[in-house]
């Protein structure tokens, strides 16, 4: 698609001032479209002689989209268990599959993981595509990309959902490139476009100031990554069952260019935010990094994880692994404590799906109170020790 100027142009200059990008110049009584053009079309209607037109390039798509069907969800595993994000996406994938009149399938890749299929069926899947091999025991870019790509080429899914985790963000784009399709990253909403029947992928754009809805009309599969905790995990039904499709592994050791030498724990359960049921987060209202000890003590007593606002992370009070928000991790615990966090929209976008939000702030007009289920107006250094001690008594009793 391109904006062009025909020979009917009279060089009147009426198009030049309306271009928001300064992409039109008048030379020798002729309008010239420069490389700054974004094809917005603002100039087309202003031309009095109709000399500015939009050319539609013929699309050369050889893909037969009717061959592609079913919704797939990649089930990421950790320590022999499925990660929550895959189970969350099965719940949302079920809605998409039902709306499209197709089946929902989970994709399990690893070694000795067949038992996990029952968790996938319990979360709503009709099928499980299973690939097991010693070479796939641990995630590797080469091994998992080749395996997943072969599954797609063999079974042709219409839609693929992946978690926007470290592994999912590595795997998703590589698969999309191999099979020649697009990928919408870090989605916060999924739906079906009423006009086209395509998956409507919704994600923040321009720093979160707008929400963009993206369609993939010409290529298959339609692919996207979704942040953990954006959707709630469905209530499991262990009476459900389905079909297990075992696919042969074709990846050899020599195909994998990396080798797992050692697993080093750089973070304890206190920063496993995506899986946590209770999160205690601290912000700039803590005033100094030493006061984060109060947040950590409460989290320890409750058996929860420790979060932080971007302001606290930028100040160097906590590592980025703890950051909650639009530019950090999206979480959805049962209980979220916001301690000394004012409630910037970027932070609230990352924790708004929490079941219960408890805010503690000395500013009674802080925006966080508008979202909180419970609020305490007071000094963090006075309130947190009292809360911690009361919870400790309750647990001891």
Is 53 annotated to bind a ligand? Reply is: no
**Quick check: helix, strand or coil at residue 303?**
coil
**Helix residue spans in the chain (DSSP H):** 84-100, 117-122, 141-155, 166-179, 292-302, 310-314, 345-348, 368-371, 380-396
Is 284 annotated to bind a ligand? Reply is: yes
Is 131 annotated to bind a ligand? Reply is: no
Q: Are 341 and 347 in contact (CB under 8 A)?
A: yes
Is 343 annotated to bind a ligand? Reply is: yes
Is 166 annotated to bind a ligand? Reply is: no
Categorise residue 197: left if φ over 0, alpha if ψ from -120 to 50, beta otherwise: left
> What does each C-alpha distance from 88 to 106, 275, 283, 380, 389 come to in angstroms?
12, 11, 28, 34, 35
Is 102 annotated to bind a ligand? Reply is: no
Is 323 annotated to bind a ligand? Reply is: yes
CA separation for the pair 155, 32 (Å, rounded): 49
Is 207 annotated to bind a ligand? Reply is: no
Is 270 annotated to bind a ligand? Reply is: no
The closest alpha carbon to 89, from 152, 166, 162, belongs to 162
Residue tagged 């302001």 (tokens): 311
Is 310 annotated to bind a ligand? Reply is: yes
- What number of CA atoms fall less than 13 Å from residue 331's CA on the CB side? 35
Is 160 annotated to bind a ligand? Reply is: no
Is 346 annotated to bind a ligand? Reply is: yes
Is 4 annotated to bind a ligand? Reply is: no
CA separation for the pair 130, 105 (Å, rounded): 10
Is 341 annotated to bind a ligand? Reply is: yes
Is 39 annotated to bind a ligand? Reply is: no
> What does each C-alpha distance from 15 to 33, 47, 171 come to in angstroms?
10, 6, 45
Is 93 annotated to bind a ligand? Reply is: no
Is 322 annotated to bind a ligand? Reply is: no
Q: Which residues are known binding-site members?
A: 284, 309-310, 323-327, 340-347, 361, 379-380
Q: Which residues are known binding-site members for FAD?
A: 284, 309-310, 323-327, 340-347, 361, 379-380
């Amino acid at each position: 698609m391109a904006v062009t100027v025909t020979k009917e142009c009279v060089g009147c200059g009426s198009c030049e001032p309306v271009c928001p990008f300064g992409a039109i110049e008048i030379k020798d009584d002729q309008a010239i479209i420069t490389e700054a053009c974004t094809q917005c079309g603002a100039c087309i209607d202003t031309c009095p002689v109709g000399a500015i037109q939009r050319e539609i390039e013929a699309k050369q798509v050889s893909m037969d989209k009717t061959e592609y069907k079913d919704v797939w969800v990649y089930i990421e595993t950790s320590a022999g268990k499925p990660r929550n994000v895959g189970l969350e996406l099965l719940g949302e994938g079920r809605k998409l599959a039902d709306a499209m009149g197709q089946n929902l399938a989970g994709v399990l890749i690893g070694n000795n993981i067949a038992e996990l299929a029952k968790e996938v069926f319990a979360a709503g899947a009709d099928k499980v595509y299973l690939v097991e091999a010693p070479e796939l025991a641990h995630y590797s870019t080469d091994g998992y990309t080749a395996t997943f790509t072969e599954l797609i080429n063999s079974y042709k899914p219409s839609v693929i959902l992946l978690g926007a985790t470290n592994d999912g963000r590595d795997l998703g784009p590589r698969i999309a490139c191999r099979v020649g399709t697009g990928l919408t990253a870090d989605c916060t909403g999924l739906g079906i476009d009423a006009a086209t029947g395509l998956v409507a992928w919704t994600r923040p754009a321009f720093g979160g100031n707008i929400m963009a809805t993206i369609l993939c009309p010409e290529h298959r599969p339609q692919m996207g990554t979704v942040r953990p905790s954006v959707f709630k995990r469905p209530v499991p039904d262990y009476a459900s069952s389905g079909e297990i499709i075992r696919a042969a592994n074709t990846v050899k050791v020599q195909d994998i260019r990396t080798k797992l030498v050692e697993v080093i724990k750089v973070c304890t359960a206190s920063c496993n935010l995506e899986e946590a049921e209770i999160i205690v987060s601290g912000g700039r209202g803590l005033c100094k990094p030493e006061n984060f000890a109060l947040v950590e003590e409460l989290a320890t007593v409750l058996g929860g994880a420790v979060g932080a606002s971007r302001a606290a992370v930028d100040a160097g009070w906590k590592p980025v692994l703890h950051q909650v928000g639009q530019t950090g991790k999206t979480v959805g615990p049962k209980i979220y404590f916001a301690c000394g966090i004012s409630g910037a929209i970027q932070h609230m976008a990352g924790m708004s799906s929490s079941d219960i939000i408890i805010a503690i702030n000395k500013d009674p007009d802080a925006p966080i109170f508008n979202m909180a289920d419970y609020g305490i107006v007071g000094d963090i250094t006075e309130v947190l020790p009292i809360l911690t001690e009361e919870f400790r008594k309750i647990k001891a009793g």
